[in-house]
């Protein structure tokens, strides 16, 4: 099959990333952008002395946050994430405690070395700029390397930058920048842009979804089959561990809302429920909220597709493994089917609350989880598609209005709702005749894209509308 540049070329490991919460677009993406800028400065270190005619002037990083990053960055921990990236941390290796410590002292000066030059970095050099702007993506940040002439401090107007890059955090921890071109990597063996084409490839090749995904992953990343499976297993363990940690903790979450963790208590009560159906549903709620609470606390989670929605997939994984005795191989293969759903949503709509509202986060997370359950329990590709479609269809129009800018209300309970809808979508899809299903996954993704485009900006992760406003006014 011939391939062209606009087929889906996303790697499973671009999608599923481990890192500290609470937000993939506000924490992981900005940290990656800042780390990328540090590497850029190191690459360009040789030219810095020539560009710095005043040797006694100090070099410093200045950052401007725009759009939703500016509106809700504080509650999402964006400033600390950017600073951590500038200090050399990447999301997968950044200890949550390091971020917490950074947040505690806003005026502390940090230094980082590029070549022989020291560069200053601090939270006070990170500025929250306009919420409305003309950049192509809502979550935009401009990072500059400047030479501060005035020793009076970072609050003085910075001179022209020596180096500057305009970054976009486009959702799910993915970043781009002005002039960005997709990385040169292998081409997928099986090209598809949408579900209709994916369905056709599956029909022609006779492959199962997970086999197709695996063959593409090997071609795109150059990794061997066993290395991919090992990495996938490691990510599943991080997801399962995030549920376990959440079930073991109680107390208040960070921030000013005073939100108390509920997952552990819910789990204990669920275990004592006499009705098996009640017990299963209540436990699923507890699993999803456990990871979502860990995410809100800045703990390590896996984006699926984002941090905000990171509780949905682990809830179903945990339930399949511990309550429904589904084997490891089926879980792993289900993860690959879930990734295919996220790729389609990302390619043909968006997976960021700042772009399309929560339908792109918990909605897509729920569709992924529905595909996971259906595939892991041996359903046909048609049923996997229908399960994902049903889960996403019943999240259409869902706004993103985090109260106080924290990924807590409505996000934590919303993960529980997404998990239950995912299982219900699987039940409906696996019970009906798949050929009688009238709505395709492509149709519902197109509807999500259109709904997201028409959605007022105040409902797209700015905390300027909806519950974020009405709850404050109560």
Contact residues toward ligand SF4 (CB under 6 A) are 308-309, 353, 358, 361-362, 400, 402, 407, 410-411, 414, 461
DSSP-assigned letters across all residues of 258-317: -PBP-HHHHHHHHHT-SSHHHHHHHHHHHHHHHHHHHHHTT-EEE-SS-STTTTHHHHHH
What's the chain's length in residues?
474
Q: For residues 154 and 357, which CB has a smaller minimum distance to ligand SF4 in the complex?
A: 357
What is the b/e burial string over 377-394, where b = at least 16 CB atoms within 10 angstroms of the residue's CB?
A: bebebbbbbbbbbbbbbb
Please state the closest distance from residue 467 (CB atom) to ligand SF4, in A.
8
The residue among 67 and 353 lying less far from ligand SF4, judged by its C-beta, is 353
Q: Where are the beta strands (DSSP E) in 82-180?
A: 110-114, 117-121, 126-128, 140-148, 163-171, 174-177
CB of 306 to ligand SF4, least distance (A): 6
In the complex, what is the shortest distance from the CB of residue 142 to ligand SF4, in angstroms, rounded to a whole number?
Answer: 23
Q: Which is nearer to ligand SF4, 166 or 361 (CB)?
A: 361
Tell me how far, at minimum, the Cβ of 354 lies from ligand SF4, in Å.
8
Neighbours of 285 (CB within 10 A): 23
Strands 110-114 and 117-121: antiparallel
Burial group, residue 174, by CB count within 10 angstroms (0-12, 13-18, 19+): buried
In the complex, least distance from residue 357 CB atom to ligand SF4, rounded to whole angstroms: 7
State CA 319 to chain mean position distance: 22
Nearer to ligand SF4, 48 or 358 (CB): 358
Residue placing its CB nearer to ligand SF4 in the complex, 362 or 388: 362
What is the number of the residue whose Cβ is closest to ligand SF4? Answer: 308
Cβ proximity to ligand SF4, 228 vs 407, nearer residue: 407
- Taking the complex as a whole, the smallest distance from the CB of residue 422 to ligand SF4 amounts, in Å, to 15
Contacts of residues 255-260 at CB distance under 8 Å and 24 or more positions apart, as own/partner, are 255/75, 255/404, 255/406, 255/408, 256/404, 257/403, 257/404, 257/406, 257/408, 257/409, 259/296, 259/406, 259/408, 259/409, 259/412
The Cα 244–Cα 287 span in angstroms is 8
Task: Give the residue with the Cβ less far from ligand SF4, 60 or 71.
Answer: 71
Q: What is the DSSP letter of 53?
A: S
Pairing mode of beta strands 58-65, 117-121: parallel
Q: How far is the CB of 138 from ligand SF4 (least distance, A)?
A: 12
We find the least distance from the C-beta atom of residue 361 to ligand SF4, in angstroms, to be 4
Asked, as a colleague might, if the bond just before 410 is cis with ω within 30 of 0, I would say: yes
Question: In the complex with ligand SF4, which residue's Cβ is closer, 309 or 391?
Answer: 309
Q: Which of residues 166 and 461 has its CB atom nearest to ligand SF4 in the complex?
A: 461
Q: 376 Cβ partners below 8 Å, 6+ apart?
A: 320, 326, 330, 331, 333, 334
Bridge partners of residue 260, in order along the sequence = 252
């Amino acid at each position: 099959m011939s391939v062209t540049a606009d087929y889906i070329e996303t790697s499973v490991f671009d999608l599923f990333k481990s890192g500290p919460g609470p937000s993939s677009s506000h924490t992981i993406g900005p940290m990656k952008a800042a780390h990328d800028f540090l590497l850029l400065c190191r690459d360009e270190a040789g030219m810095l002395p020539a560009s710095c005619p005043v040797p006694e002037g100090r070099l410093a990083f200045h950052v401007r946050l725009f759009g939703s990053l500016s509106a809700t960055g504080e509650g999402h921990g964006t400033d600390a994430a950017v600073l951590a990236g500038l200090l050399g941390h990447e999301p997968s290796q950044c200890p949550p405690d390091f971020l917490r410590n950074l947040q505690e002292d806003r005026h502390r000066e940090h230094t980082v070395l590029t070549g022989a030059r020291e560069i200053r970095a601090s939270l006070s050099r990170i500025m929250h700029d306009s919420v409305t702007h003309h950049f192509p993506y809502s979550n935009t940040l401009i990072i500059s390397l400047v030479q501060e002439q005035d020793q009076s401090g970072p609050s003085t107007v910075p001179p022209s930058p020596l180096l500057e890059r305009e970054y976009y955090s486009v959702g799910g921890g993915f970043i781009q920048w002005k002039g960005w071109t997709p990385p040169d990597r292998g081409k997928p063996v099986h090209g598809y842009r949408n579900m209709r084409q994916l369905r056709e490839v599956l029909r022609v090749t006779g492959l199962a979804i997970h086999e197709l995904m695996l063959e593409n992953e090997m071609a795109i990343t150059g990794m061997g089959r066993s290395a991919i499976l090992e990495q996938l297993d490691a990510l599943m363990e991080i997801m399962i561990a995030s549920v376990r940690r959440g079930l073991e903790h109680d107390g208040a979450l960070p921030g000013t809302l005073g939100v108390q963790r509920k997952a552990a208590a819910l789990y204990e009560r669920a275990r004592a429920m006499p009705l098996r159906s009640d017990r299963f549903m209540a436990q699923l709620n507890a699993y999803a909220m456990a990871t979502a609470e860990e995410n809100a606390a800045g703990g390590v989670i896996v984006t699926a597709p984002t941090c905000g929605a990171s509780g949905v997939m682990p809830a179903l994984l945990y339930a399949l493994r511990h309550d429904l005795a589904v084997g490891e191989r089926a879980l792993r293969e289900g993860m690959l089917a879930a990734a295919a759903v996220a790729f389609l949503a990302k390619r043909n709509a968006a997976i960021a609350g700042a772009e399309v509202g929560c339908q792109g986060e918990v909605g897509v997370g729920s569709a992924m989880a529905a595909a996971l359950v259906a595939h892991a329990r041996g359903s046909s590709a048609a049923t996997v598609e229908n399960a994902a479609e049903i889960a996403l269809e019943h999240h259409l129009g869902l706004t993103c209005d985090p109260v106080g800018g924290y990924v807590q209300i409505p996000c934590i309970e919303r993960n529980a709702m997404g998990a239950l809808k995912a299982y219900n979508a699987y039940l409906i899809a696996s019970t009906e005749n798949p050929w009688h299903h009238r709505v395709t996954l492509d149709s519902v993704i197109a509807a999500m894209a259109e709904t997201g485009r028409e959605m007022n900006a105040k409902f797209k992760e700015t905390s300027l509308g909806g519950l974020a406003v009405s709850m404050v006014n109560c």
